[in-house]
Each structure stands twice: as C-alpha cells, then as structure tokens.
A and B are shown apart, each in its own frame.
Chain A
Amino acid sequence: MAEEKSQASSSKMLTLKASDGVLFEVELNIAKEMKTVQAYIDDCEDIETIPIPNVLGKHLAIVIEYIKKTNEEYDAEFEKQWNMDDLQLLLLAANYLNISGLQECLCKAIAKRIENKSPEYVRKVFNIENDHSPEEEAKLRKEYKWAFEGVDKD
C-alpha cells in the first residue's frame, strides 16, 4: 500500500537526519505528515536533508513507521510495545514534529497507564518533585480520601 501511495503522488525522497546522526530516507508525502518538516520544506524547496535535532534515531524510526502504517488496528496495538520512558520521548518527538494523530494516540496511551495510579507513581513517571508542604498534602488527601482508595499498586 505504501508503494501505491508513492507511485501515485510524488516519488521524491527526502532525508531526515536524527540527533545521533542516523539518516532516514522517506517519501515526501510521509515526511509531510510531520508539520514541522512541512514548514521546513515550505521555506526551502530544494532541501534534501532535514536535521531533526531533538529526536534520537531509534524514536524517529518508530515515528516514521507509525505514519506509514497508522489505522485504528495499528493504533490499538502500537502503544503496547513501548515502556513509559519511550512513550514520553515519542510524545516529545511527535510534539516537536507536530504530528497530531500520533500525539493524540500517545497522550491517550500515557493517560491510560497512569489513570489508576497513586500520586507517588505519577511523580516518578514524570520525574516531578513533590513541592507541596506536608500539611498541604495531608489536607488535600484528607479532603478526597475516597479517591485514594483502591488505586493500583505501584
């Protein structure tokens, strides 16, 4: 199917260069799904290699594959393969590259993984320090005590 796509539209290929130097050759219509890349192309038409300084090669590979294959079934299975750190890095990549479908999919996936977890777990996941004072935190927990019952074990 990807082949049909490229034959029908332009067969022009573009090179994307990840932050660790890994190079990816992609068809123009795939690259255009990344609105950040599209903006680059709009600015300089003849460009052949586009630097992607914020994204590691391994994550850029995953993002490109997602764009090629995305559909409902693929989305449902996609997020299961990645651990929480990768999910976040992929989300940052999708955010930088401005790919709305992938951002939506990853936000949903991360939300699903934290929705029934304790605040301690959530802090660990996002590497956040608890900057509430002990009194403030105790007050918040007491006010909605029932919301903290039955959360998943970390």
Chain B
Amino acid sequence: MDIPIHVLFDIMLKLPAVSLVRCYSVCSKFKSIVSDYSFQLSYFSKAPISIVVLSDRHRITCIDSSQNLNPIHSSDHGSSSSCMAMRLQPNSNNTSDSSSKRIKTIHHHHHHQQPSSSKFVSFHIHKRMNLINSSNGLLCLRGSNPHSQSHYYICNPLLGELLNIPPAPSAPDRNLCFSAFGFDPKTKTFKILQLVSKSNKLVAELYQSPPHSGGVKTWSVISDVPSAKPKPNSSFDPSLNDALHWVTDGAISELIYSFDLNSNKFKSIPCPSHFVDDEYVSNISGMSVGVLKGCLCLCYVVEGKRFETWSMDKYGVKESWRMAFSIDIKSYCGWSPQDKHRPIGFNTCGDMWLMADSISQSSSQCLVSFSPETGVFRHIDIGGNASNIQVIPQVLSYVSIKHMVNIRRKQHQLQKLSSAQNYALGFNLFVLENFR
C-alpha cells in the first residue's frame, strides 16, 4: 500500500527525535521528508520540552520526554513516595480555606532500573563545562576555566556535536555577571551575550555568528548598557521571542531586563502590578525569570512562606501578568529544594522541574517534577556519585548543527563527541505521566 507523503509527514511529526535520526537511513523519501524545512518548522513547533543533564563526570545526557519511559502504574518492588502538596488557589486571600486541604502522601512503587538503553543518549564532554541555556534546539556551553578567556561552545546534545566559538574578549569567571544565547533558525545565526563587570561598571560583549550572506562577524562591545547589575542565577530559561531576559538588582522599573536579539538593544520589562514598592521587593527572595508554556514567567519566594509563579500572558504588557500557581513552602513534602526554590524549567504541559537534596542519599541530588494541576510532586532519583548536576530544559533537535547554522571554517570547528554508555549515570527513573 502506498501511503501518500502528506500522511507520512503527519505520522513522522509524532516521532521522538531519536527516531527521526534513524529516518534518514530508511529511504530517500524519508530522508527528504525529515530534511524538508517546513517539516522541521512543524516538528520544532510541536516538539515537547525535554531535559539535558551535564554531570560532573563530563557526561552530557538527553532525556527525551516524548518517550513513554516506565509508566508507574504497576506495583511491587519496594516503594517510594510522591506527595501531594497543599494546593493554594491563585490570589486566594482566604487562608483558612487551605487548612481543610490535607497533605496526602501517595505511595508509589518504583521499577528496578531496567537498562533500556535507547531511552537516553549520552556523550563525553572532554573538559569542565557549564551549561548556559538552550534556544530552539541548540545548547550553549561555556568552558569553565577561571584563568583564561571565556570559551563558548554550541552543542547539539542529541547528536553529540560541538561547535567551537572564538573566545570572548574578556572575563575570567569571577567578573562574569550573566551570559545567555539565542538562536534564530530562520536566519541560521545565533548570538551570545555576556555581561561583565569591569571596574564596577557593566560591559556588554556580544558574539554574532556569520549571516548567510557572508561577512565576518564575531565579538563586539555593545553600548548603552543598563547600570543595574544582573542577579546571579536569575534566569533559568532566558531565551524567548528573540530576546534574552534576566533579573537585576536595580529599582522596580528595572527589575527585569531584556536584550533584543534583532535590534541588539537593552530594554526593561515591566513587573507585575503588585510589585508596588521597594519594601515588597525586599521581602522577596530567589527571583528568577524563564519560560512557561511560551510566555515569560517570574518565579520567587515571598516572605519565606510561599513560592509563586507569575506568567506574562502578553509579552511586554504589564497588565497581562497573572499568577499561574503558588506553593506553600511547607508543602514540599520533605524535599528541600536547592537554590532558593528556583525552577530548572517548565515542560510543555506546564509541570515545573526543580532540583532538591535527595531524601534517601545525602550529598546527592534529585530532579523533582511538580504538576500545578494535580499538586503532586514526583522525583527522578539521580543516584550514584552524581552530585554536581546541571540540568536545562531543551527541545531536542535531530538536525545537525551544520544544517541549522551557517558555519565558517575559520571561526568554527565542528567536533563529534564520543558516545557514552547510556545508563552509566545510574539513573533510577521514575518517569510518569507528569513527565510528558
């Protein structure tokens, strides 16, 4: 039977990224479908947000959240708990309401780890790196070397490709305040912004990759930098709407800042209206910005009691801020979230990922997912010696960097990373419906 191409197209759009990599070799028809630009656009617009993990053993691993890994319905084998948080309704003034909701502990049973090796993809990274952020299917990393210039790399963690970028003009680690990366698939160019503190002033350096038309672009200094200094770790997912975002230590009107990747200009983003005065801001900790379901979001802890996530439904419009959900700090069910409750990211359904200290093993970390809809926390236990994990949300790309970006041999060098054993991290995965 002969399936028409447009029907094949619709089937293939539902395949996870790893399967699409195999599709190149099925036949020339399949290869042309996955190489087709409009297929790629459709795929990237619908692909779920997955996770990339960089462990201290220099292994970078992709976990594709569209693959249904070990659904939790079956029983036996030990036990572990998920826990339902007390749900607070957004904007609820009536706290006596919440006392009637009880914390339920749901005991779930976990599978013994099955080495289903096709589920994760891992590669060796040859040196110490820090994950910067991901944008439209590509990942940016920075070589971690306090004494030399900043070396950035662009990575496709699913295909194990690494692209060298010419080093930035300055910045040993200690002066670096903020760096972020934005990739534009339409022009096949990307930009890396770094904000460096020099003699107490902020200097902005921007790398622009060469456009298709040629010309050598590289690092340049951007003028008109805001004076407000970026707060460390204040941006868990900076890239949205062709702009990069972070939180500063400035006045309320400058609390959230952005860099427009089209105009190369800085601009502040208005805060939610309830940020009325400095006193309110002083009661807030752990403020960070990121992306939730395609909108800019702001996360923070108020008075040490409540974690709130606000979503800017219409980009740039102050009145469109609305509280997406909040969690009573006491309802984290015994997990102590790291880094002042800052999320790692949000998946496509709006579930929040965060890092917490492992309950069972000290000096180990867990990746926890929280579903605002059900109020349930579940954890992904990262066992073994994985104590220095960096985790980032990312849409996985089955397309090679050389087809996504204009590369110039003189500036760039595309390396292939060596493949690592898929389950060497000792993942003990409880991946459940909420992971999707």
Say which residue of A91, A131, A141 sits within 8 Å of B7 (CB atoms): A91
B67 at the interface (CB under 8 A from A): yes
B27 at the interface (CB under 8 A from A): yes
Q: Which residues of B contact A72 (CB under 8 A)?
A: none
Interface residues of A in 112-154 (CB under 8 A from B): 112, 114-116, 118-119, 122-123, 126-132, 137, 140-141, 144-151
A103 at the interface (CB under 8 A from B): yes
Say which residue of A91, A108, A110, A122 sits within 8 Å of B26 (CB atoms): A122
B45 at the interface (CB under 8 A from A): no
Say which residue of A92, A108, A112 sits within 8 Å of B3 (CB atoms): A92
Q: Which residues of A contact B7 (CB under 8 A)?
A: 91-92, 95, 107
Q: Which residues of B contact A146 (CB under 8 A)?
A: 121, 160, 419
- Measured CB to CB, the closest approach of chain A to B103, in angstroms, equals 29
| Cα distance, A111 to B341, chains bound together (Å) | 37
Say which residue of A85, A132, A145, A147 sits within 8 Å of B28 (CB atoms): A132
Closest B residue to A118 by CB, please name it.
Answer: B22
| Cα distance, A145 to B31, chains bound together (Å) | 17
B1 at the interface (CB under 8 A from A): yes
| Cα distance, A107 to B171, chains bound together (Å) | 51
| Cα distance, A130 to B4, chains bound together (Å) | 17
Interface size class of B (residues with CB under 8 A): 35 or more
B262 at the interface (CB under 8 A from A): no
Interface of B is mostly: loop
| Cα distance, A131 to B24, chains bound together (Å) | 12
B359 at the interface (CB under 8 A from A): no
Contact A107 B25 (CB under 8 A): no
Contact A150 B25 (CB under 8 A): no
Contact A111 B419 (CB under 8 A): no
Contact B1 A89 (CB under 8 A): yes
Contact B118 A140 (CB under 8 A): no
Interface of A is mostly: helix
Say which residue of A114, A126, A145, A151 sits within 8 Å of B419 (CB atoms): A145
| Cα distance, A126 to B8, chains bound together (Å) | 9
A15 at the interface (CB under 8 A from B): no
| Cα distance, A115 to B67, chains bound together (Å) | 9
B116 at the interface (CB under 8 A from A): yes
Interface-forming stretch among B12-20, B371-379, B385-393? Answer: B12-20
Contact A144 B19 (CB under 8 A): no
| Cα distance, A149 to B19, chains bound together (Å) | 12
Closest A residue to B158 by CB, please name it.
Answer: A147
Contact A115 B25 (CB under 8 A): no
Q: Which residues of A contact B8 (CB under 8 A)?
A: 126
Interface residues of B in 398-436 (CB under 8 A from A): 419, 422
| Cα distance, A129 to B286, chains bound together (Å) | 57
Closest B residue to A152 by CB, please name it.
Answer: B118
Scoring A92, A112, A131, A150 by chain B CB atoms within 10 A of each residue's CB, the highest score goes to: A150
| Cα distance, A73 to B2, chains bound together (Å) | 31
Residue positions of A touching B, CB distance < 8 A: 85, 88-89, 91-92, 95, 103, 107-108, 110-112, 114-116, 118-119, 122-123, 126-132, 137, 140-141, 144-151
Residue positions of B touching A, CB distance < 8 A: 1-4, 7-8, 10-16, 18-19, 21-31, 67, 116-118, 121, 159-160, 419, 422
A/B interface sample: 11 pairs, CB < 8 A: A92-B3, A95-B4, A107-B7, A111-B14, A115-B16, A115-B67, A126-B3, A127-B1, A130-B27, A132-B31, A144-B159
